[in-house]
Chain A
Amino acid sequence: MKKKNITKKAEVKAEEKLVLSRPASLRDVEMHYCAGCGHSIVHRLVCEVIDEFKIRERVIGIAPVGCAVIAYEYWDFDVSEAAHGRTPAVATAIKRVRPDNIVFTYQGDGDLAAIGTAEIIHAANRGENITVIFVNNGVYGMTGGQMAPTTLAGQKTSTSLAGRSLRNDGYPLKILEMLAVLPGTRYLERVSVHSAQEIFRAKRAISKAFKTQIENKGFSMVEVLAMCPTYWGMAPVQAADRIKNDVSLFYPIGVVKAY
């Protein structure tokens, strides 16, 4: 009360509390992602986890072919590209050659669930000690919003104009549930980034997945349900609601397999 003038620096510092800052693993550059896209959130979560484990100098990421193809422009650590879908094969070799490094792939649903189905199943089945971040937004974003293996029944895309037909296009693929039956997989969880609460859960899952690898427990994968407002033809808020009300009903959020 008697000290009105509280401009002493030390006092101000004591009152300030840093609650959020850019992760050191995330470069301070503008991202190319569309408004409301889930990728930028997932990039950040991965970087926060890497910072928290203090593994930035040990980590080697494998960027996919898809919207996240230039992820290495945003991540401030060693990164390799991979041919479309071959991401887990590249990761397998890097981890085998350098078992002390932390190796993760970052893949979309076209990369992982269509052209790279063989690679993800066999990397998982060999129990490779790698971490897979699988961003599922149900469309091919980079090429203009075509139907993905994960596109929901009835969903309209540029290659399923009348909506995905189960008869013509088959059923949406639940990769996590497929991998769960493989003895080689240790930790599998599906999360979403459609709300602040889900983003917190997503980060916990990504952290658990990296921890699985750090502790040499084997194959870990987090599927992240992400918004693609551009190719869902929706405003970002609507797109987030769609995950809550629609997408997550078919792809249930939660742990699929844990040790």
Chain B
Amino acid sequence: MSRKILMCGNEACGEGAILAGCKFYAGYPITPQNELIAYMGKRMSEINGVFIQAESELAAINMVFGAAAAGERAMTSSSSPGVSLKQEGISYIAGAELPCVIVNMQRGGPGLGNIAPAQSDYFQSVKGGGHGDYKVIVFAPSSAQELLDYTFMAFDIADKYRNPVLILGDGLLGQMMEPVTIIKENYKPEIIEKPWALTGCKGRKPNIVRSFFLGEGALEEHNKRLQEKYKTIASSEVRAQTFNLKDSEIIVVAYGSVARTAKAAMEQARAKGIKAGLIRPISLWPFPSKIIKDASAKAKKFLVIEMSSGQMVEDVMLAVNGKSEVDFYGRMGGGIPTEEEVLARIEALA
């Protein structure tokens, strides 16, 4: 059975969570993700789930910690300043190895910034954000449909690795309305047993959920185990889209909403006879470094487009490792690179 619905990205994201069997949501209002908290309030009451409008972002993320510890599929969402507040909780969730989904519909920063779309939380998302050596799996959808699909998938992946998964969108994706197709049969969440969850110790030894390891060498061992897990994730969960890589001399790299602009500009450049291609990282951690590295063997130049002062460009440069030239074009503080601007930059490189 298939349904095609016109919905905004925030709502599509929420529906993806519901389809995945998310039964717990806690959030705090912040623009531009308010449609999501409202949608979860409505849908949770329909499916008999738990919806809590928390007193703060801190409480919301720690409620997600609790719900996840109790074995429930749980989610919270916010936008940049709110996600900063959640970082403490995300570190604890990663440390205690709890599965959950966190959504960040980014807005301009730093500080209170503004409410326009931005991609300036890349570092925060993929390099840790909170304290300690940990990794959050980060997916960057670029449409309402993908917001639904990747949020759905995020719950299975979170459970599989007992790790938080971040859906990194922006205000543009969250608020833009697009048709979304829901083919019911395509959304069958995996049921993953959680013998570690807190359910009361009937018939088994007590379970303890913690990120605290005091004994001699215990925390080092815990960290080694986490790093092993991250290695497995890094080798299994890389996702990217590539266009025209075979003969490209200039490769544009962009993620999220701005990847659509970059793709359109790349196609225009092609029409003008420029051998341009596109790599669109979908998983930002793990980053598709190998795809970029392999492409750098042939392509002469890379052009990274971001709605930031240049954050992902550092990971592209690490992947390219000096083999090709890496150029960057970005807009900040809510500025959105236009197709014309990106095309002009490609033409300048050609």
**Interface contact A89-B208, CB-CB below 8 Å:** no
CB distance from B29 to the nearest CB of A (A): 15
Q: How far is the CA of A216 from the CA of B73 in the complex (A)?
A: 25
Is B102 on the interface with A (CB-CB < 8 A)? Answer: no
B-side contacts of A70, CB under 8 Å: 212, 214
What residues of B have a CB within 8 angstroms of the CB of A89 in the complex? 54, 58-60, 62-63, 65-66
Q: Residues 32-66 of chain B: 1 if any A CB is under 8 Å from the residue's CB, otherwise 0?
A: 00000000000000000010101110111011111
Q: Report A47 CB to chain B, min CB distance, Å.
A: 12
Residues of B within 8 A of A122 (CB): 54-55, 59
CB of A164 closer than 8 Å to a CB of B: no
Of A54-62, A131-139, A147-155, A204-212, the stretch lying at the interface with chain B is A54-62
B69: CB under 8 A from chain A?
yes
Contact among A60, A81, A83, A86 for B200, CB-based, below 8 A: A60
- Bound-state CA distance A69–B92 (Å) is 14
A interface secondary structure, majority: mixed
Interface flag for A90 (CB, 8 Å): yes
**Residues in A205-223 with C-beta less than 8 Å from chain B:** none
CB distance from B60 to the nearest CB of A (A): 8
Name the residue of chain B whose CB is nearest to the CB of A115.
Answer: B58
Tell me the minimal C-beta distance from B219 to chain A in angstroms. Answer: 14
- Known: A76-B206, A79-B208, A82-B65. Contact between A93 and B55, CB under 8 A? no
Which residues 62-77 of B sit at the A interface, judged by CB distance below 8 A? 62-67, 69-72, 74
Chain A minimum-CB-distance residue to B210: A81
Q: Are A94 and B66 in contact (CB under 8 A)?
A: yes
Name the one of A58, A75, A91, A118 contacting B55, with C-beta atoms under 8 angstroms: A118
Complex Cα distance, B52 from A82, in Å, reads 18
Q: How far is the CA of A174 from the CA of B173 in the complex (A)?
A: 47
Q: Which residues of B are found within 8 Å of A93, using beta-carbon distances?
A: 24, 26, 50, 52, 62-67, 70, 74
The reply on B234 being an interface residue by CB < 8 A is no
Q: Which residues of A60-97 are within 8 A (CB) of B? A: 60, 62, 69-70, 72, 75-83, 86, 89-94, 96-97
A118 lies within 8 A of B65 (CB): no
Q: Which of A69, A81, A97, A119 has a CB less than 8 Å from the CB of B67?
A: A97
Residues of B within 8 A of A98 (CB): 70, 198-200
CA distance A241 to B55 in the complex (A): 39
Q: List chain B residues, Cβ under 8 A from A78.
A: 198-201, 206-208
Specify which chain A residues have a CB less than 8 angstroms from the CB of B209 in the assembled complex: 79-81
Question: With A60-B200, A80-B198, A93-B74 given, is the CB distance from A119 to B59 under 8 Å?
Answer: yes
| Alpha-carbon separation in the docked complex, A91 to B60 (Å) | 12
Render B190-220 as a binary contact track against A, CB cut-off 8 A, 1 for contact: 0000000011111100111111101000000
B339 at the interface (CB under 8 A from A): no
A98 to B69, CA, bound (A): 11
Question: A248 contacts the other chain (Cβ, under 8 Å)?
Answer: no
Q: Which residues of B contact A118 (CB under 8 A)?
A: 55-56, 58-59
**Docked complex Cα distance between A83 and B64 (Å):** 12
- Complex CA–CA separation, A62 to B52 (angstroms): 19
- B226 on the A face (CB < 8 A): no
**In contact, B214 and A56 (Cβ under 8 angstroms):** no
Contact residues in B for A56 (Cβ distance below 8 Å)? 201
Task: Decide if B206 touches A77 in the complex (CB within 8 Å).
Answer: yes
Q: Are A101 and B199 in contact (CB under 8 A)?
A: yes
Q: Is the CB of B24 within 8 A of A96?
A: yes
Question: How far apart are the CA atoms of A78 and B26 in the complex, in Å?
Answer: 23
The answer to whether A97 touches B206 (Cβ under 8 A) is no
Does B59 contact A86, Cβ atoms closer than 8 Å? yes
Asked if B162 CB lies within 8 Å of chain A CBs, one says: no
Please give the distance in Å from B101's CB to the nearest CB on chain A.
14
Interchain CB contact (< 8 A) of A81 among B24, B56, B199, B212: B212
In the complex, what's the smallest C-beta–C-beta distance from B216 to chain A, in angstroms?
A: 15
Contact mask A246-259 → B, CB, 8 Å, 1/0? 00000000000000
Contacts of B202 in A (CB 8 A): 57-58
Chain A contact residues, CB within 8 Å of chain B: 56-60, 62, 69-70, 72, 75-83, 86, 89-94, 96-98, 101, 118-119, 121-122
Given contacts A80-B208, A97-B67, 6 further A-B contacts (CB under 8 A): A56-B201, A77-B201, A77-B206, A80-B65, A81-B212, A118-B59
